[in-house]
């Protein structure tokens, strides 16, 4: 039996409740990042798997990276966060 939703949906099948929660976490994370006014939606992205968030993309400074991390960690139900944001100017403007 699934711990998350208490249904017998099988080991191979992705739990719908977990998938739904992950999607909500991802949407909340992006909303919070955008609410800071410091990021563009094409610069950063959030991948969520079983309430574990991975931040990817590129930001201008270490400060921005910290701001992003704090914004995401404020979201309920996030169990862990890997901040893989890269810091620096876009590689296209070298």
In the complex, which residues of this chain contact Zn ion (CB under 5 A)? 2, 4-5, 15
Q: Which is nearer to Zn ion, 2 or 78 (CB)?
A: 2
Q: Which is nearer to Zn ion, 5 or 67 (CB)?
A: 5
Closest approach of Zn ion to the CB of residue 92, in Å: 42
Closest approach of Zn ion to the CB of residue 87, in Å: 38
Q: Which is nearer to Zn ion, 4 or 60 (CB)?
A: 4
Tokens 């309430």, residue? 51
C-alpha–C-alpha distance, residues 44 and 67, integer Å: 12
Closest approach of Zn ion to the CB of residue 14, in Å: 8
């Amino acid at each position: 039996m699934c711990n998350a939703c208490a249904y017998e949906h099988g080991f191979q099948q992705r739990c719908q409740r977990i998938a739904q929660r992950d999607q909500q976490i991802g949407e909340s994370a992006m909303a919070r990042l955008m609410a800071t006014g410091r990021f563009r939606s094409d610069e950063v992205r959030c991948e969520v798997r079983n309430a574990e968030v991975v931040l990817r993309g590129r930001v201008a400074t270490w400060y921005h990276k910290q701001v992003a991390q704090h914004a995401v960690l404020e979201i309920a139900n996030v169990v862990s966060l890997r901040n893989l944001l890269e810091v620096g100017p876009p590689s296209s403007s070298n």
